[in-house]
Structure 1
Amino acid sequence: MTLFALLATTTAVIAFQQRAAAQAQRDSAVFNQLSGEADRLHGTDVSLAAQLDLVAHRMKPADTKIYTDLVGTENFPLSTALVAHTDAVHSVAFSPDGHTLASAGADHSIRLWNVSDPRHAPASNLIANTPSAVNAVAYSPDGRSLADAGADGTLRLWDVADRTHAVPVGEPLRLTDAVTSVAFSPDGHTLAAADADHTIRLWNIADLAHPAPLGQPLTGHTGAVEAVAFSPDGRTLASASVDQTVRLWDIADPARATALGAPLTGHTNTTTAVAFSRDGRTLATASRDTTIRLWDVADPAHPAPLGQPLTGHTSTVESIVFSPDGQLLAAGSADTTVRLWDVADPAHPTPITPVDQPLAGHSSTVFAVAFSPDSHTLASASADRTIRLWDVPRTLLTTHHGAVESVAFNPRGHTLATASADHTIQLWDVADPTRPTRIGQPLTGHTDAVLLTVFSPDGRILASASADHTIRLWNVADPGHPAPIGQPLSGHTDAVSSVAFSPDGHTLASASADRTIRLWNVADPAHAAPLGQPLTGHTDVVESVAFSPDGHLLASASDDATVRLWNVADPTHPTALGAPLTGHTSSVFAVAFSPDGHTLASASNDATIRLWNTTNPTHPTPVGQPIVGHTNTVLSVAFSPDGGTLATGSLDHTARLWALDPGPADHRICASTADALNLPKWQQYVSDQMAFDPPCGTVAVPH
């Protein structure tokens, strides 16, 4: 019996081990499949890809590739789909309070969605079935009224004070052809509508129940009018037409509206959309020629083009909109994607996402885009019968008028410094990193690009390095009232690309285009002095230097595409440690140590950030894959004092914040992508053999 028992036990153990091995093999295969599918989907549905990354991360939390993929989602818009329409959705509009989204489309319906709580899937109310397709909807400035533009040539007004029950106001207004666009004036007293009969019509709606025509229809276009938009001051109206032009109209007196100057030309096909910036000084126009143009309309009688057309879309640009904060421009296209540009400096707009990574998720033409009043959510409407709500990252700091060359956290507070090619330094309050705010005016004094800034360990001094060959020290004990200290430090024979304080604050290291590194005694910052001879070893421009937290190591980055580590325990006799670190495919512009000294981050001209394990400084190793997201050269990198956030600055004119703990990425993905990973997709992308267990829980499909 004992022998039989032993055999039975042995058999059971072997069977258990075999089952465990089979399960481990299956899990490994599923993990590899998940990782591969996520990589493939990043270009077509980043929201679903993010959820697949979450599933993979929970299967293997220590996998460094998945870790860096999750960190990379921090600065990319993610979306959730709203499903209720039964045909193409033509238009979306947010109420002025941001709590409601109106949508309308080819299914003859108008719906209102409750979007007041981003933590819950929006629910919709069908408020109207119209006799024809609806081409556009618009809210009045007070949010109590809604206008819809009908394909049957009618324009209807609705009382939507109660978003659960819309009430028609008055009789429909009848035009001679399809109504393609509708807009309320900023004061809510005038309504404008675009007509396919080549005209624009205006009504006085002071008494909403009894709209009165204002003057004669505006004529001048030689083709159907596709879109109309009021300037923020209500004195100018812009219109876009099939005739490939845009016209501006003086409507200071809407009963006597007149054309302003000659039509705006430049587009080579139908102009489909027009939008004014928040300050009214910039007009954006979109076209079937796949481009967007920006115009200076500060003097609307004499508009002038701004820069080159914005490109990237591969088919008709159907809709454009400026964010209410004036920082972004969004466009929806027949190529099924949405694109974002930073337009803080409209003369030099830059894409927010990589050119090859637009906002993807729709499967057909994107007809309309609209920002929420707080600029944090973008709604897109598509021929695929869905609406998507995109969570726009709040971690983009867009104030400089040139490349952001450097970012630095104050170790003793919640201040971030950004330095720019515009010769200035800007201080930011980042106590809440999801809502950074600017502190005061930019610091000026350098006569060329400021290439790097760094705080002293006690947070009271800021050092800046410039292409003007000098280093400047600033007293920032009171961030609201910074002041220069002493005279600029000179000695380098070319641009000073980087500076770094030792942990005790007594030594400053500087790197230069003269291929050398210099050490300075700054124990008395008002009387700084050089230490010893310049350090040599790099074969090209030295772009960056950084001390380890214990002060024993100095890292340097160079245009020779390498990173070097130096032993500077004795700053008068530094020595090189090991071989240069390689992996970047172009110049390395910045390096930074994590607060624990175990990780080194490097930023490169190849538009990526790399992380290195420096626990053993003589044999550092790469951590995961490069982090991508910037659309151009990454010029600077910095860790927050707690090591949980990485800040980067780029030639794409943006600074970005990356949460290094996957937890925030986990939360944001779940909050932004809702049911992106439903049961059918689980079976398709994860496994039909594993129980359905989405990383964000089961979310009901919104209706």
Structure 2
Amino acid sequence: MKSNFAFQNLCGTVYRQGNVVFTPDGNSVLSPVGNRVSVFDLVNNKSRTLAFENRKNIACIALSPDGQLLLSIDQDGRALLVHFRKGTTLHHITFKAPVSHAAFSPDGKYFAITHGQQVQVWETPSAIAREFAPFVLHRTYTGHAGDVVSICWSKTSRYFITTSKDMTARLYTLHPVEGFQPKKFGGHRDVVIAAFFSDDEKTIYTVSRDGAVFTWAAKKAIDEDDSDVEMDILDAPSTSASGLNNSIDHTVAYTRWGIHGRHFFNQPGTKTVCATFHPRTSLLIVGFSTGVFGLWEMPDFTPIHTLSISNEKISSVAVNPSGEWLAFGASKLGQLLVWEWQSESYVLKQQGHYYDMNTLAYSADGQNIATGGEDGKVKLWNATSGFCFVTFPEHSAGISAVEFAKGGQVLFSASLDGTVRAFDLVRYRNFRTFTSPTPVQFSSLAVDPSGDVVCAGSLDTFEIYMWSVQTGKLLDILSGHTAPVSGLAFSPTGNQLASSSWDRSVRLWSVFGRSRATDPVTVSSEATAIAFRPDGKEVCASTLDGQLTFISIPEGEITSVVEGRKDISGGRKIDDRRSAANNAASKYFNSITYTADGACIIAGGSSKYVVIYDVREGVMVKKFQISENLSLDGTQELLDSRKMTSAGPIDGIDTTGDASDLEDRLDVSLPGAQRGDLSKRRYRREARTMCVRFSATGRSWAAASTEGLLIYSLDESATFDPFDLSLDLTPETILQTLADGDHLVAFIMALRLSELPLIQRTYESTPPTDIRLVAQQLPQIYVPQVLRFIAHHIERSPHVEFDLLWVAAILTCHGRYLRERRQEMGAAFRGLMKGLMGFESSVTKLTEENNFSLDYILAQAELAKKLNGVNGDEMNGGMEISI
């Protein structure tokens, strides 16, 4: 099995904190998710998460005007300069102070950051050349008496205005201007959260947290005793110390600014949290603490509309360059919204789980992923696009397990509220609810391969309940365990049910036989999870002492044990008294699953690592670290002695009481609560994996972690696996053979070289009439590789008929060979099924659209015939012309 899995996407978390940013073309929005950045393509309906990671949670991001450079700054002021289109990190820098806002100048030559009570302007490094010292400080600006909150550049990039907690705003020039002193804008009674220039730079707007908007313009008259002279606006020197051109107009710098108007939002019981301005259309967009946002047209302060879009405060707001789409982020709910204000409709509305994601399950075709959270919601995510397309909120407590039926059209979920629910994935409704005679909490779930029987294990009565899916009636109650049932799994053949429990035993039940007696298999410690091998001949159980125990089904005894405690150990909590190397006693696996071919098993648990083991050899194949975020507990190996205080580690001190907003200072958590809310005893989230699952195609796996739903897939770009190479086998000879018309030889040579671009070129160059002949003469040793390539090609190519001809030819000519090796070819077959089902859904959708269009045209023809009273022949001719 290949192990070159690489991080692909982060789902389940769409926004955490910081600011959201639109790309220069306005088609994508960037959102910070923990210590990563996700990009949501609003036109193509896809999302991707950039591969780089900050050291801690991101505080703010900024994108250059050309869309080349992305500046990502974490809570401690450590920044990464990233090439946005490639997703690679170019440079690192530490600003030595927390940064609340960063902004590139419109010409892209500089960027400004807040630095406590100061503002620093840096020269933008090159995105092409690699420099030794890329960051050059242009100038540091002072004058504020409180921390700077925001920065706004003018359109000409010669000025910028800053706002601060000292309830003032200040105007600065990028380069020194003779006789210029920074202008101060006062008069507000609360923190000035934002300030903006108008499109012609003749007006400045300042917005404060108490809901006041001041309009600043040039004073029309001055007193005679005033030391400033009005002629300065016209006759002031325009030279600068940096040698700028004398012809530069510095009207903004020499203007005597005064309050031209005061306006108020008049939103009772709320505060203004964030604001943005679109200069071209003079639209002011404001987000409030009650989840309401509003649009006003400046300078007349004409209200366009206000709308409530969230139950919590809106943390960030952004507008795209055309001014049509607005993006809002709500940090407490993890919600991201993109709103088209002209049509008053959603472009994007996504929300992750409110707290931890407990479990996940892949659909049979690998296209969809179901997740269950501590908030009692079940969500369905598209593995390709990364978007959630349906949410089921019927449960009233945390979800403990979710499972798909093998047909893929029914989803089952078990919850701590004492119910097991079945959801119809065609009509998206809860069509069946299974309950027990006495209220219990269900901790595990298993579905029969036929989809007719569902089982759930309880935490309270230590029993396993069986229901019929068709009737909803309770079929049987399996008793025997003396502790909570931690895991359930049906064999692929469906004739046996395996259960694991905290009573240190694993039991195998013949659920469809007459006898319910079972002989327990004793394991070394409390069992935490269980999984069947795809062939049904082996079962694996993980235990609390960090071991993986493999049990043979025919013999009913333990065949091998893998000691995994040392592999999963690592990471030290801030309150641990032992080092990470000596803290392996608390590390164990709580979720395991076999790969599609059964050769390997993947396991994750109370650690920052996910481990893949080879089942036959019993050795570790590869270890993945799910997060490097130091804001999470358990990610760092060594503690920093410089952060130790008399009260303990400085990171372990709760600083929520120092928040500026009253609602952020209030403690509404339950005393002593460990899960579901951030309590006093545990307010730093721990890096751990709640569930891991392999896709049925074998090409990807997913982990439900503290950060969200992490998806890893095979990195084909890093794979080079040539076969039977020779000196004359080069890309040039392959292209020459292809030009000579020998398609079979060229295709085999490309397969031997194992270069994906060459394989694709030779594959697509084969004439459709020769496909069957080429497939028939293809050596059988290359058939698995060709099938895997076709499955990959189907997902990314518009050649529907061409790919179908290849699939039919390969299956017809090499069907017997593939049937003999169906076990090892299972992943390739599932990949083909996924692509073919995608074809089917696309064709079905297109057909329905065409039928609707034809029905509409015919209906219009009949309507016109009735209105005009003409005969049928003339009407048909008229319709043909109009069409």
Same fold by TM-score greater than 0.5: no
Write 1 or 2 for the structure with the bigger share of strand. Answer: 1
TM-score of the two chains, using structure 1 as the length reference: 0.43
Higher relative contact order structure (alpha carbons within 8 Å, sequence separation ≥ 6): 1
TM-score of the two chains, using structure 2 as the length reference: 0.36
